[in-house]
Structure 1
Amino acid sequence: MANNTASAIPEHVLSAFQLDGRVGLPLGAAWDNGVRYGRVVVSQASATAAWSGKARERAGEFGPGIGVSRPVRATDGRLVVGGFKASEFVDGRVLARIDETVAAALRFDDAMDGIDAPSASRADAFDSAERAVWRGYTPQAGDVVAHTDFASCLLFAGDAVPTLTDLVPSAGKRPRGYTAALVIVDGLMAGAVDAAVLDRWAHVAGLRELARRALEYRVACAKASGSNVSSIAERVQETLASE
């Protein structure tokens, strides 16, 4: 299976990223199931891959407390070649360190200040669900592009600063704190954190309302993928409703 994954990447793509002749090591979901070649990971590009690459370049180091995997450009400067993208490999793994992830998500909001939403739509069921949840919302001053899969893209390695492997953008700008709300809802649904997390982060403006939208989005995503999370969603909904 590993060989099949690596062989799916055309030779001209590897050549464009100067990875000719290297042996690939398949990676997991945090890297879009891509293949590692030394310090570079090549994976299939989504419709927003070029936007993500440019945003990761513009956002620098994302400020203190959070890092980001830089995009690797092809020899001709392209971010996407033949439907594939490349990024710098960073050590670490996804962990259920919810409060640290929430803190990083709030720093992410600061890093995204001034970066516009992608013009290209992902054009999938998850993108449609995200748009539906925010239908009728008018962006306000200070809103930023949210990361709709933040916790799954944030890697931890010991005491090192957690690092994002990629950006999965919202279709438009959302209130600051929405990315953090998604992390909290993910943690509640997974049972990785209890209701006290809402009190610890109560200073985030409109947190419970943002979390309700986040839950609605996660339920819609689950339905799109054929999963039944109704009992879990009901439990989280009750948690969000309790003051």
Structure 2
Amino acid sequence: MPEQPSATLPPRSVLDAFGVRGIPEPLTGGQGRSVRVGGAVLKPAEGTEGESEWAASVFERLPRGAGFRVPRPLRSAGGDAVVEGWTAAEFTDGRPGPSRQWPGVVATGRAFHAALRELPRPTFLDRRTHPWAVADRVAWGEEEAVVVPELAGPFARLLSLRRPVEATAQIVHGDLTGNVLFAPGQDPVVIDFSPYWRPPLYAEAVIIGDGLLWYEPAPGLLVGGGGDPRWRQMLIRALIFRLVARSGLVGPSWRAGEKEAARFLAATEAVEHGAYKGPARP
């Protein structure tokens, strides 16, 4: 996986606004920007204007006991979910998946998406231009992209395999793979909400695609989607999503030799032929 940047620490004024006390401790995982302070986790607000406030309001309304948990968002005394560019939520302990927890990650995603089914599409999705948003649109044929030379081969192959597919879209978490925490005797915790307007089956395919790309494949990892005939097309889009995002993040001067291309080629062949024949990691 890409190397994580060093975390920036929130200033004292932010801690005071959210009413948290303690010494900031950078957390591993995600993009390496989360910081634990006492019983809270703070991270820079992400996305376009209004996205963090929207996400906090969604988490505040989600039901309890529905097969998953979410960290309770913290607000300032004035009711703001964002203070000086920072958000805060309660700290929830647990061991992150997906290794040895693939069925649990998938099941948690299904329960989470069932709870989001009736949410309307937020307008901020149209304003996002970060690499993951661009890659998502490319995966669904809504935008075109040129990728770095190392990834051009697998990209062209994936595009040749993509076919039209119909499925109902809703709000989904587009990056569940490493963002579900497991603790004995408790429902799993969904963290680092990355909202997209796509079919839940696609979000599930992103989990499995990530497994093929960056983890040792578990037996039967390609078997998913509950037997849905659209499953293969969802996997193809999931791999396009990750490939284009990777290319957009590293930029045109990046050189990774053959390892990264081999990673995507092996995953593409697995989806095309229904069997994994290469290493998930170089």
Alignment TM class, shorter chain as reference: 0.7 to 0.9
Instruction: State the partner residue of 1:68.
Output: 70
User: What corresponds to 1:10 in structure 2?
Assistant: 11
CA RMSD after TM alignment: 2.6
- Counterpart in 2 of 1:237? 268
- Corresponding position of 1:217: 241
8 Å CA contact retained: 2:173, 2:203: yes
2:181 corresponding residue in structure 1: 155
SS of match in other structure, 1:42: strand
- Report how far residue 32 of structure 1 moved: 5.1
The amino acid of 1:165's aligned partner reads I
Provide the rounded CA distance (Å) in 2 between the counterparts of 1:139 and 1:70. 36
The aligned residue for residue 147 of structure 2 is none
CA contact (8 A) 2:224 2:231 kept: no
Supply the AA of the counterpart residue of 1:143: A
User: How far is the alpha carbon of 1:28 from its aligned partner?
Assistant: 1.9
Identity of aligned residues (%): 27
For the Cα contact (< 8 Å) 1:118–1:169, is it kept in 2? no
Are 2:202 and 2:238, in contact at CA under 8 Å, matched by a contact in 1?
A: yes
In structure 2, what is the equivalent of residue 37 of structure 1?
37
Distance 1:134 1:108 in 2: 23
CA contact (8 A) 1:147 1:169 kept: yes
In structure 2, the CA distance between the partners of 1:79 and 1:107, relative to structure 1 (3 Å rule), is same
Letter of the structure 1 residue corresponding to residue 25 of structure 2: L
SS of alignment partner, residue 123 of structure 2: coil
- Return the match for 2:208 from 184, 189, 193: 184
Q: Could you tell me how far apart the structure 2 residues matched to 1:234 and 1:140 are?
A: 26
Which segments of 5 or more consecutive residues in structure 1 lack a partner in the other structure? none
Instruction: Say which of 89, 92, 110 aligns to 1:90.
Output: 92
Residue among 91, 104, 112 paired with 2:116: 112
The answer on whether the counterparts of 1:178 and 1:214 sit within 8 Å (CA) in structure 2 is yes
Tell me by how many angstroms 1:117 deviates.
3.4
Q: How many residues align?
A: 235
- Paired residue for 2:80? 78
Q: 1:225 is paired with a residue of what secondary structure?
A: helix
* TM-score under structure 2 length normalisation: 0.74
Question: Are the structure 2 counterparts of residues 54 and 208 from structure 1 closer, same or farther at C-alpha, using a change threshold of 3 Å?
Answer: same
TM-score of the aligned structures, taking structure 1 as reference length? 0.85
Please report how far the alpha carbon of residue 194 of structure 1 lies from its aligned counterpart in structure 2 after TM superposition.
4.4
Runs (5+) with no aligned partner, structure 2 = 1-5, 144-163, 275-282
Deviation at 1:159, TM superposition (A): 4.4
Determine the structure 2 residue equivalent to 1:55: 58
Distance in 2, Cα, partners of 1:65 & 1:32: 27
